[in-house]
Amino acid sequence: MDHVEQRRIDASNSIDLKLIKSFVVVAEELNFTRAAARLGMAQPPLSAAIGKLERKLGVRLLERTSRRVTLTPAGAVLLEQGRIAVEGVGAAIQRARRKGTQADRLTVAVKPGTSTDLLKKIMQAYAQYPRLPRVHLLFGHPGGPAAAVRGGAADVAILRAPFDQHGLDTELLLTEPRVAVLPASHPLGGRPELRRADLAGQPMPRWAGQADPAAHAYWTGADTPSPAPNEHAEKAQGPEINDLSQLLDAVTLGNAVAYVPISVAGQHRAADLAFVPVSDLSPSEVMAAWPDTSRSRAVAGFVRAAVDVAASHCEPTAAFA
């Protein structure tokens, strides 16, 4: 190895994580003005920081013109790996803080609307294991249960797919059908069965802050191939929602139709809602997720309890005529 290459490696190893974080934000935005606003700083110092990073690495990360900013191949690699590095350091700090202040607690992230019956049974089964910390449930993390686990705010999550699984190990617990939920007065509400094409063009609720295309496709029923060309027109935009209660309210008020797991139909039957089977709709999967680097006995015990409970768990379902 020559001296130039060695100096480059030494420079790379000494790069401040703050520089990587700044680059990740710029690479996500591909706009220095928006990136500077996100970082709470002025644009000139941000541009200087990115230039400094490029000089330290000895490669160009961004192609900049007066009209646009694009990633170079090297920049694309650093964006992918830099996100992991920034997220990993943040998670390590968060986990260390929790270990120092909440050593007797296993934090389990769940999304509001998750089956309370399933969670209760899992917690009861977990409590039978000796010398493991008590469970604390974390609801409503801003980025969702998966982000809570990746970011160190939680040790394990019970959640429904799809979700971003990078950095996580997962275990499938339950698979159940999904059904359409419509206002009881809807012309299709009395049908014994529907196909996705029957609801083409109907307004579908939008989950607040949801940028993941896979999750959007799942909630609008577009996550599996359509059997015929143009069967699914672009869904009309329905109201923005934050939780299952808001989703059902939007349907009740006639502002949307939606797809929900069949267990939700069993738990939320009401005279002003119609739940109808859909023959060509993908199922719902309930999963456990935890950091892929975890060696925690408590996490292993909780996942084992979840798998055991799920094997014999029967969710309440709707009685369809």
Number of structural domains found in the chain: 3
- Residue 175: closest CA among 278, 91, 253, 287: 287
Give domain status of residue 100, yes or no: no
Residue pair 257/203 in contact (Cβ under 8 Å)? The answer is: yes
pLDDT tens for 48-63 read 999 999 999 999 999 9
Which CATH number does the domain housing residue 112 bear? 3.40.190.10
Give domain status of residue 188, yes or no: yes
Q: Does the pTM exceed 0.85?
A: no
Q: Which has more confidence, 100 or 105?
A: 105
Same domain, 150 and 25: no
How large is the average pLDDT for residues 69-86?
90
Residue pair 235/220 in contact (Cβ under 8 Å)? The answer is: yes
Same domain, 168 and 187: no
Which CATH number does the domain housing residue 34 bear? 1.10.10.10
Which residue has 């607690």 as its token pair?
Answer: 105
Same domain, 37 and 75: yes
Same domain, 192 and 278: yes
Q: Write down which residue in 57, 90, 123 finishes a domain.
A: 90
Range of the domain at 146: 105-172+286-312
Most trustworthy range by pLDDT among 114-123, 214-223, 236-245, 283-292: 283-292
Sequence-ordered list of residues with C-beta below 8 angstroms from that of 169, at least 6 positions apart, any chain: 289, 290, 291, 292, 294
| Whole-number average pLDDT of the chain | 86
pLDDT tens for 204-258 read 988 876 667 888 889 889 888 765 544 444 557 788 888 888 999 999 999 999 9
